[in-house]
Amino acid sequence: ITAKASIIFVTLQYNVTNSATEGQASESVSLYYYGVKDLATVFFYMLVAVIIHAIIQEYVLDKINRRMHFSKTKHSKFNESGQLSAFYLFSCIWGTFILISENYISDPTILWRAYPHNLMTFQMKFFFISQLAYWLHAFPELYFQKTKKEDILRQLVYIGLYLFHIAGAYLLNLNHLGLVLLVLHYFVEFLFHISRLFYFSDEKYQKGFSLWAVLFVLGRLLTLILSVLTVGFGLARAENQKFDISTGNFNVLAVRIAVLASICITQAFMMWKFINFQLRRWREHSATQAPAVKKKPTVTKGRSSRKGTENGVNGTVTSNGADSPRNRKDKSS
């Protein structure tokens, strides 16, 4: 393709230059908004994600699998956790860097102040483009990884949930809130998958799952608190509450209710899955730890039982004892 066409796929589109004046020094800052051309950029980086996925699979995970000799079930789960733990770790570090560089941690009111956040910095927009590209690449990976039919539905559900929430935060200009919630969620998920990798190498390792269980519940509570604080209180008290697609303002009551409903339903679904997972682990653990009940040998009273103990071992008659009568003392004439 031509150079003009390739730029649409490779570089970020829809940039504007704002001149920010601070005191006597003035500097120009390039900011970005979203548009239809972002689909081409997402498609290109989806292909990049497929290539990176194949590199990690071939040069890291396959070598470990050959050494550990996993079964088919553990093999697929190990590959899944290996890929996701690498992605979650990279996204956590990248997202935390954005939060620190743009002072999100020192000033939490930036989550709802000056909404709509229709202008993004380069790293903010590139972060969301990369997130959409990664979760879109998960669809062809179901074919490349030869995923089992019984696992396809489960993976389609969580891939669809990721795409729905990330695209929703991106299109509704809630990228500040979306970034914070993604970093929080990715950290908890990284701990789970890295604990599962250690568990596959040594099944006695259980401490990581206990820590993950505590952080999982705390993560769900923090997600609900931040969502209600931002959407239910911050945006509800904002002055500009007019639906305007041209300016990217979606701060109306119906949209706020839909956003909070989707977040609450998703968190409830995750807690339901989490409780079922913990109950299944508890049943499996109690089944393995339960001592086996030993059956006491039943001894029948009478002459036959005494003969059995004399002729055999533990009540079983030996061939020698059964075939030969007991030797009697010869009477002296």
Give tens-digit pLDDT for 167-199: 999 999 999 999 999 999 999 999 999 999 988
What local confidence, expressed as pLDDT, does residue 159 receive? Answer: 95
Instruction: State the pLDDT confidence band at 289, using cuts at 50, 70 and 90.
Output: confident
Q: How far from 118 is each of 175, 230, 272, 297, CA to CA, in Å?
A: 9, 16, 35, 80
pTM for the predicted model, two decimal places? 0.82
The token duo for 277 is 């997972």
68/91 Cα distance (integer angstroms): 28
What local confidence, expressed as pLDDT, does residue 108 receive? Answer: 82
Tell me the domain boundaries of the chain: 1-19+27-288
Beta bridge partners of 21: 26
How far, in whole angstroms, is CA 177 from its chain's centroid?
19
Give tens-digit pLDDT for 292-306: 444 555 555 554 444
Q: List for the chain the helix, strand, coil content (%; round to 5).
A: 70, 5, 25
Q: Which residue has the tokens 């059956």?
A: 295
Q: What is the mean pLDDT of residues 160-167?
A: 96
151 neighbors 72 (Cβ within 8 angstroms): no
Beta bridge partners of 249: 244
Q: What is the mean pLDDT of residues 62-77?
A: 84
Query: Which three-class secondary structure state does DSSP give residue 241?
Result: coil
What local confidence, expressed as pLDDT, does residue 246 receive? Answer: 87
- Dihedral sign of CA atoms 20, 21, 27, 28 in order: positive
Count CB-CB contacts under 10 A for residue 47.
13
Query: Which three-class secondary structure state does DSSP give residue 69?
Result: coil
108/311 Cα distance (integer angstroms): 86
Helix (H) or strand (E) holding 136: helix 122-144
Instruction: State the pLDDT confidence band at 26, using cuts at 50, 70 and 90.
Output: low
With 70 as the cut, is the pLDDT of residue 332 above it?
no
Instruction: State the pLDDT confidence band at 325, using cuts at 50, 70 and 90.
Output: very low
Instruction: State the pLDDT confidence band at 322, using cuts at 50, 70 and 90.
Output: very low
Number of continuous H segments (helices) and E segments (strands) in the chain: 11, 4
Q: What is the mean pLDDT of residues 233-262?
A: 91
79 neighbors 61 (Cβ within 8 angstroms): yes
> In this predicted model, which residue has the larger pLDDT, 111 or 309?
111
219/182 Cα distance (integer angstroms): 11
Instruction: State the pLDDT confidence band at 216, using cuts at 50, 70 and 90.
Output: very high
What local confidence, expressed as pLDDT, does residue 330 receive? Answer: 47
Strands (E), the chain: 15-22, 25-32, 312-313, 316-317
125/131 Cα distance (integer angstroms): 10
Q: Is the peptide bond before 297 cis (omega within 30 degrees of 0)?
A: no
- Across 255-273, b (16+ Cβ under 10 Å) vs e yields bbeebbeebeeebeebeee
Mean pLDDT of the residues in the chain: 84
CA-wise closest residue to 126 among 155, 85, 159, 97: 97
β-bridge pairing 25-32 and 15-22: antiparallel
What local confidence, expressed as pLDDT, does residue 278 receive? Answer: 87
Instruction: State the pLDDT confidence band at 247, using cuts at 50, 70 and 90.
Output: confident
Work out the percent of the chain whose per-residue pLDDT is above 70. Answer: 84
Q: What is the mean pLDDT of residues 257-281?
A: 93
202/50 Cα distance (integer angstroms): 30
CA-wise closest residue to 145 among 78, 197, 92, 201: 78
With 90 as the cut, is the pLDDT of residue 263 above it?
yes
Instruction: State the pLDDT confidence band at 204, using cuts at 50, 70 and 90.
Output: confident
Give tens-digit pLDDT for 82-121: 999 999 999 999 999 999 998 887 788 888 988 989 899 9
169 neighbors 185 (Cβ within 8 angstroms): no
